[in-house]
Structure 1
């Protein structure tokens, strides 16, 4: 399942994961109009989708890592997006694993499948970089995916996001941080 090169598509049991590029703008606009995706990632205008896609294509080119668009292998239907992003948390450089799945595809294990592919990719191409995941503390579905991936809770960070019971975005929303053990699943 591991690609031969960093930017090769990745095949899982059910998904084709392709590095996001400018050709995916329309599909990502559809994904980010889904009510559940919109709830957790915020409203995405067409301009914001284009800007994000251009940035992701640049991340693949510059960082050698990024997010994939996920299609069903047998039908070609859009399932979602996910993968890895390089970032710094505190003073530590990490790979953050994340996902967003279409509303009609939630509850079918696709987020976990995308996450497992990302962990395997990280183990192959960046085994020296710690892998983390985070979400708003009240996002039970994403926390469940993190646990299924074998990540362990390692604290709380604050960043812009949602706060349970309060409308809108908040500058210092609490996010639960999960981390892969250095010798965790898929890591040497």
Structure 2
């Protein structure tokens, strides 16, 4: 039997502080007011909003969204992080968790957006894996789900890499969605 000497390689550098989580190649830090310029750049890029049925937000809408993300941390204890390359300090995207009611069940919905030039390098699964692991440890009573646009194949592949499977479809205010859940995870009541 192999000896377990610590967490898997991708989590060895992870911290449990929600202010900042370090993975092998990324720093996930809580969003702050200084992230507005990066948020506008990421969220207004047509490539990052391609699968968002609500479209790209204006600068004012992005500022409001950033304020809501910050408030979510204060009031709910979960939220979005700026995804940062530690060697350069560049914010390459945003991602994290927010409370979501799904068919009467309180869940945490995982979502993210990365700058197109940083896609295909494994950053999305690395960020998502860190967020899911943090939620599993810190919010074990809330199952994590991933809700995707039906045409968002890259996000669906990330969900599959993390052990999530398509379990249903639904309709939100923005339109149709697919719901993904981790296999073998049973929700616990709060």
TM-score normalized by structure 1? 0.86
Instruction: Compute the RMSD of aligned alpha carbons.
Output: 1.6
Cα distance in structure 1, aligned partners of 2:22 and 2:113: 18
Q: CA deviation at 1:40?
A: 2.4
Q: Which runs of 4+ in 1 moved over 4 A?
A: none
| 1:137 and 2:150 aligned | yes
| 1:72 and 2:72 aligned | no
Q: CA deviation at 1:182?
A: 5.5
Structure 1 partner of 2:104: 91
Match of 1:9 among 20, 30, 40: 20
| 1:103 and 2:105 aligned | no
| 1:54 and 2:56 aligned | no
Q: Tell me how many residue pairs correspond in the alignment.
A: 172
Cα distance in structure 2, aligned partners of 1:64 and 1:130: 15
What residue ranges of structure 2 are gaps of 5+ in the alignment? Answer: 1-12
Partner of 1:96: helix, strand, or coil? strand
Q: Which has the higher strand share?
A: 1
Q: CA deviation at 1:43?
A: 1.5
| Deviations 1:91-115, CA, capped at 9 Å, x for gaps | 0000001111101011111111111
Structure 1 partner of 2:29: 18
Cα distance in structure 2, aligned partners of 1:4 and 1:137: 33
